[in-house]
Structure 1
């Protein structure tokens, strides 16, 4: 029996090799009891919660690299509002990934500037399972440490990954698990796979030679200069 399972997994992995998988994600922004003293930010968050069902994101990946982007373009007159919906969804721009290296576009700095950073690896694998779009997924957990002045926040991260889809990528730059991430919750934002296209012929290129790439120190310095201005 073990030999049969081994050969099934081997054939599955071979069938996906060199092929692209495209996943479309819906997003749900859950309410948080914050911004009590800032009516403008509270209004923007309420709008983002209401509008989150219209946000769509795409992950295009193969066994070596991935490309994650929003399908929502700034076509409305109120671009600030559209941007704020994406920001409250935790999305700041398109993300390319090669193996364990992320290239994150900066909506703030713009001008084809990308932040280069290492992918997340500090996952704890759990025994819980659930089915997502017909695929058996396993749970993994982690935290994001956020330092804001003298305060430190640890935001919970929960991912559900599918070992039978043997690419270790996921939405919004989250990766490093033994299977494709089909659901991801970071704090109050949940990305959930709504469509999965296997063996896609749609490809992409990561052209780092055309990017202006900053490491994390350079990126932080650029943000500080922007804030000073």
Structure 2
């Protein structure tokens, strides 16, 4: 950890409680998702090496990845809650197009209950995301007008084959302590500042517009219906394990 960053981060964590900061501020952030060129290159190289795929199909698939379109997403924040969703107006009804590979499902988060819920029709439920903690590094860079610090999520994962847990590091995340809102895209939250970029292995999500004084009428927080059943991530793994057993 950079010694110059430590006092700032400690201030965010102690004098400016995350919950209070996020509850007293509203914002609308627009993110752009792009597929990573390095990932595309490795994918196409591996694709060309496959012997059981026709040359025509290889070229068709490669073109989709090499000409992938950008995606746009919005994060709305209000009173300690956030809602992240895709801008579906950019969707193109063309089978020959591909997007950024970023998750398209909406996410609802609530700082008061410390919950992150992925809104999905998968298995007919809404899912809690797996637990994680953060490792803040000494990486620093500018994103737009904001000075950002790098952090890496460490997830607690369950291995159904061994019936045990293990820890796995995730994507590189860049947050700015200049905006004390503990939110971000997808399931990423819990840092002492707004997350402006996610560098995933396959894609990159970057904030391209930050509105810290949005019109109240423009804010959209879609909460999970109280009648919907919410299952834990561990329960999802258990159900998937049962489904695999029933296939054989």
TM-score range, shorter chain: 0.7 to 0.9
Q: TM-score, normalised by structure 1?
A: 0.72
Q: CA RMSD in A?
A: 3.9
- The C-alpha deviation readout for 1:108-167, integer Å capped at 9, x for no partner, is 43x5x211135532x2212232221211111112456876979x9956521111112111
Contact 2:160/2:241 (CA < 8 Å) preserved in 1? no
Q: 2:139 aligns with which of 119, 123, 128?
A: 128
Specify every segment of 5 or more residues in structure 2 that has no aligned partner in the other structure, as ranges. 1-10
Secondary structure of 1:218's aligned partner: helix
Q: 1:81 to 1:21 in 2, by over 3 A?
A: farther
| Secondary structure of the corresponding residue to residue 105 of structure 2 | coil
Q: How many residues align?
A: 212
Task: Give the alignment partner of residue 213 of structure 1, picking from 208, 230, 234.
Answer: 230
Correspondence list, 1:1-229, <5 A = 17-30=23-36, 31-32=38-39, 33-34=42-43, 35-36=46-47, 37=50, 44=61, 47-48=64-65, 50-53=67-70, 55-62=71-78, 64-72=80-88, 76-78=92-94, 85=99, 88-89=101-102, 91-99=103-111, 100-109=114-123, 111=124, 113-121=125-133, 123-143=134-154, 156-200=170-214, 201=216, 202-223=219-240
CA distance in 2, matches of 1:43, 1:178: 44
More strand by share: 1
What residue ranges of structure 1 are gaps of 5+ in the alignment?
1-5
Q: Secondary structure at the match of 2:88?
A: coil
Considering only CA atoms, is the larger Rg found in Structure 1 or Structure 2?
A: 2
TM-score (ref. length: structure 2)? 0.68
